[in-house]
Structure 1
Amino acid sequence: MTARAALQARLEQGIAALGLALPAGAVERLLDYQALLERWNAAYNLTAVRDPAEMVTRHLLDSLAILPFVQGETLADLGTGPGLPGIPLAIAAPGRQILLVDSNGKKVRFLREAIRALKLDGVRAVQSRVEDAEGSFDCITARAFASLADMLGWGGHLLAPDGSWLAMKGKAPDEELPGVPPGYTVRGIHALAVPGLEAERSLVVLGRTAD
């Protein structure tokens, strides 16, 4: 079995375990993204994860685990780094307008190359601090880049009135819940089972409180 075939088998098994049905060609494009990330990572140190199989688990499957909670026509991925979870979500569920936001120039250069190479329609990357980003989005994703209070304090202006904020965390952040700013409410906390990953993963779903 080739290295690529082994990665494909790992990815397909994980997708099946998550109970997801992806569009035709999505698995190949996810692996193309992983290969591009692996190649750039050698020179630019975009992620601490170096092993390709670990990338499948910790990056691709970890991102896809939140797909059932993604909603709406527009999505902003804040502190996206090398495009996580934004790029896997764009591949797995095409058709949304997606904005990838990161302040790191190297990472944004990679994002723009990934968007071009993978032909990700409707996806764009902007180099910006979260608090300076603009727009209104039905769904916002953020992968453990800050506390809930800081995430919402910096990026809350981007959330549409009936939008959904998906905060990806390790263990459930019970100690952060009292810090959720006024105007926002926790809609649910979901334990995520990421295939092949021993570590705890949880998703905090937040929204605006009704006036």
Structure 2
Amino acid sequence: MTPQAPSASPARSEEAAEARKQQILMAAADLIADKGFAATRVGDIAKRAKVSHGLVNFYFGSLENLLIEALLSTEERFYEVADSIATRPTSGTERLRRLVEWVFSEDSRQTRAWTLWLESWAEAAHRDVVADARARQDERWRTLFDNAVADDFPGSEEERESAILTLAALLDGLMVQVALEDPTITTAKAYELGVRYTEQMMK
């Protein structure tokens, strides 16, 4: 009698499931960034990820949920680097400069993340669940800068809050223009403007 191969262990099955999920998320992020959320279909994502249509629905339930998960997954990769910069043992001015440098680095993954953010902002205007996810990420974005200057901001707490809100909004606007390839706002120009403001806010 031929012995049967042992079944996969629960841990290995979980790893395989997580790998498939990440494969779907990467495919979704690529397609949404390339085609836009409105033009992306679950079938397109399944084909790009080389999985079944049903498996995509099993993991995410809806294209809306998939957009949120793809956005959060992309942002996690961004914050892995950004959080480490914001907590380096140097001055707040230097941490902010390095954060702006990272935001506008010549990295295709960064540009892809910006495009996903644009899609999430557009969908947030019409879908409450996306709006809730977007609000949480906006708060994390501002907290990043707050952590960077927490120990040596030169003004009051109220002034720090105002400065951080302004910086976050400024960088959001610059990222939109860079992502849309505005010929006037290159990544180099966006970096210059961002750093100029951080220097002013830390005086």
Question: What is the TM-score with the length of structure 1 in the denominator?
Answer: 0.27
Answer 1 or 2: higher relative contact order, Cα 8 Å, separation at least 6: 2
Structure with higher Rg: it is 2
Bigger proportion of residues as strand: 1
